[in-house]
Structure 1
Amino acid sequence: MPVTDVTTDPEALTLTLTAEFAAPVERLWQAFTDPRQLERFWGPPGWPATFTAFDLTVGGRADYHMSGPRGEYAGGSWEFLEIDAPTRFEVLDSFVDEGGARVESMPTMRVDFAFETTDAGSRLRSVTSFTSAEALEKTVAMGAVEGSRMALNQLDRVLEGLRAYAAGKGTQTEILDDTHVRITRLIEGPIDLVWRAHQEPELIQQWLLGPDGWRMSICDVDPAVGGRYRYEWEPLEGTEGERFGFDGETLLSDAPNRAVTTEHMTGTDFPSTLNDLTLYEEDGATLITLVIEYPDAQTRDIVLATGMTDGMEASYARLEGALAGV
């Protein structure tokens, strides 16, 4: 993981993050100063960032917001104080409301982003300075340390490019914390087709089957926000197993980039998970990222132990074949 250290200093009123990257300083600078690249990693998993303004000049302003899986909104704004390309820029970082006005009850911080060359590539050192111990404590209590770590640990895929980062690696599962798992899979195909394959029953039934020997007997989907879905699988003759299914509701839909749904095992009292699907296309390939929120670590581990990753890889491999025929 790129992030090597995150420390707080109550006496100096600072939070310092250090991360190492196998890319030159110029490439790292580009990722932090191109809003389209920046928004691919600035928000932690489940809270993607969208930059609506980015004026990289002293006195200029960058405006962004992060969108939570249940429709939550977290807005921020940078005022650029100093710029020394490609090694450093400093901003005044503020929380803002949906109208762009600063939230007076939240701290405003100075953040110094410094980029330096190393033998292996480059190093980021960001130092956030607070006006009081209370402001530092409040920010840390909001999850800034872990959120920053998870956000910056996404930067490798941006620096490397999707094919170098994910091609040929199959389905990858990462445990993010006690209740969150991130699954990624690069699909050869454009984002619009991959989106349709997650929304349209006639396509879903061609690939979302898990291991060989099963068929999807029920596929009812209303992909609109507030709409519900129901999937059911049954074994083919000669395959052991019992019929099972899942149902849930669409909480968020932003075609063709993101969909958030609940998922409940039909006919049980098991708690639902929250499934946050995002798609990103680069050079004709689409990266599927699925962040799953479990009720607790025990449930997470039980599900992972079922061989979920292998089953998803079988389905995603089948998806690439289905897209080739569309």
Structure 2
Amino acid sequence: MFEKALKGGKLYWSWIAFLCLLILIGLASYSVQWQKGLTITGMGKEVSWGLYIANFTFLVGVAASAVVVALPTYIYNQHKFEKMTTLGEFLAVAAVTMCILFILVDLGKPMRALHVLLYPSPNSVMFFDFIVLSGYALWNIIIAWYILSSRITGTDISWYVKLIIYIAIPWAISIHTVTAYIYSGLVARGMWMTALLAPRFLASAFAAGPSMLIIAAIVARKYANFDVGKDVIRIVAQMVTFAMIVNMFFLGCELFVVFYSQHPEHMAHWTYLLFGMDGYGKLVPWIWASIGLGIFAVLMLIHPTTRKNDQ
């Protein structure tokens, strides 16, 4: 199967070279962090998490997108989704791999990850996050391998692979739920300490992940002669629409509860983000851009003409 990765034209190898360059830049940057410590990231007591955990959270959502196409394929026997499922499984493997790498670099020293295995603590949410991420990575590697093998050989996948798929579908929901619990269990961060965070994470995951999958499918159709079918892309786009509407609804509910109840601790976080506080407001343009683009995305997705345009 690996021989397939060694075949391609100039454009393919140019893309591989570009990715290798990015990896080398990342390794060079990490070597600096290894020597000088996490102080070079600018993180500290007040800002304990930065781009590492932000990217980890986003990529967990991308990884969970595989379930969106696996569910109709193997639960409802909609075989037209098979090509998209193949793409989704490999995207999930890549996303989970990056998730684990972001956690490792955020630890400062990768050896510290061994403490999770050597001294497991059921009271730690990170312990469960390690389990669900590792398990999901393993399931998707097995599933992706056998799905691609069955496509090449023209045979049906075995019953035990289908069993793993049935396990992986609810497992995908668990990875983003546990990730949300890492945030919502923090008493010192009032903005995250809400029971609505896990549903919001899932809604945003099922909006962002399949969106990445659609982009990957369009690129694969244009440059790799791998067409998942316009019908499939449009159905996935409808799923994205529903998920994005729910995501924005949850955000609206959160804002209503915070500002209507006038809860001081929760208001402080949102006031700082939306309007700035005590002369500090660097994040204000970013949060308004995020909300504005979210509303714009919903409007574009609701309209059939723009939603069905996959060119």
Q: TM-score normalized by structure 2?
A: 0.24
- Structure with bigger helix share is 2
Q: TM-score normalized by structure 1?
A: 0.23
Higher RCO structure (Cα 8 Å, ≥6 apart): 2
